[in-house]
Amino acid sequence: MTISHLLSARAARNVHVVRATRSAKLSAVVLAAAAAVLAALPFLVFSTVTDTLINLFVLIALASMWNLLAGFGGLVSVGQQAYIGIGAYSLVALADLGVQPYLAVPLAALTCAVFALPTSWLAFRLRGDYFAVGTWVIAEVYRLLVVRVDSLGGASGKSLSGLSGIDATLRGALTYWIALALALATIAGCYLLLRGRLGLSLMAVRDEETAAASAGIDVRRAKLLVYLVSAAGCGAAGGVITLSSLSVNPDSIFSVQWSAYMIFIVVIGGIGFIEGPLIGALIFFALQQLLADFGSWYLVLLGVVGIVAALRLPRGLWGLVPGPSLFPIGYLVRRSDGPA
């Protein structure tokens, strides 16, 4: 063995691969503590505070699902409100059949995944801008179909049944906990999906679909899986929205405004980062609370903020943050005597 081989072998022994740095592990502890505090809020604050936070948790869940679909899968959709609406109406229909509404939330998510399977066959025949517009059209088709079903309330919508026997304070706390669980589940689900082979496949497909296919990646399977997961997450969010409002209306629940919110949040926070939807949702939520009394100027200001962020911050706010990720999905190579 030559001297160069000996040096290479010695260097290899001093190198090790890690998934998370010490700071990332510390951040995980802080986030877990924050989640515990949030879970205890119904015992500490008035219901008006927790009712407001439900909206924040729904926004985090929706933005995380859109970021998974577009930021990591390269599937820019403007029609995820289709699954918000399907999830909401599934919850109402299941409650009418005698299913406890809180237990119906995961069933509503599953229903959306079932609907997304045949829908994907049509949507995936489109590419780029055509895919985005096509998903919007599909959402409108679902809205028109729901409006024609009299048992679902038609154009006037329908109230949620099955919660009349629950105390209002307890009902508010249960809805809050369901919304918090949804936000945590979507973040954790994105993290676990992206840490595995599926995450690598998705990012390869996003960067260059043809090259990914030539490297042996099953492009359609990767896109289908992320599309189904995103649909299920949006469906669960639709169920939580219905639990909070106690009714559903087709024009509001199928509104493209939901997709606008998702896109705004992810663009502000940072597309392609798990942390992006968290940062963006907090900023969007704060703007909602501060500017809601300004009427139509509220939407104008949101538009200005969105345009400035898109032009000046292409990687979002999280892209400006130096240092390791809070949710590391890649690999770091380090030497035993210091960083590589």
Given this model, what pLDDT does residue 225 score? 92
> Amino acid letter at 121?
W
pTM, whole model, 2 decimals? 0.88
Of 244, 209, 264, 217, which Cα lies nearest the Cα of 78?
264
Q: What is the pLDDT of residue 263?
A: 92
Encoded amino acid at 49, one letter = V
The bridge status of strand 158-159 relative to strand 338-339 is unpaired
pLDDT, one tens digit per residue, over 255-309 is 999 999 999 999 999 988 898 999 999 999 998 888 777 777 777 888 888 888 8
What is the model's pLDDT at position 173? 93
CB 340 within 8 A of CB 15: yes
Burial class (CB in 10 A: 0-12, 13-18, 19+), 291: middle
Report domain extents, the chain: 41-259
pLDDT number for residue 339: 47
User: Any idea what the Cα angle at residue 137 is, between residues 308 and 228, rounded to 5°?
Assistant: 85
Q: How many other CB atoms are found less than 10 A from the CB of residue 260?
A: 16
Residues of the chain falling short of pLDDT 70: 1-24, 323-324, 328, 330-340
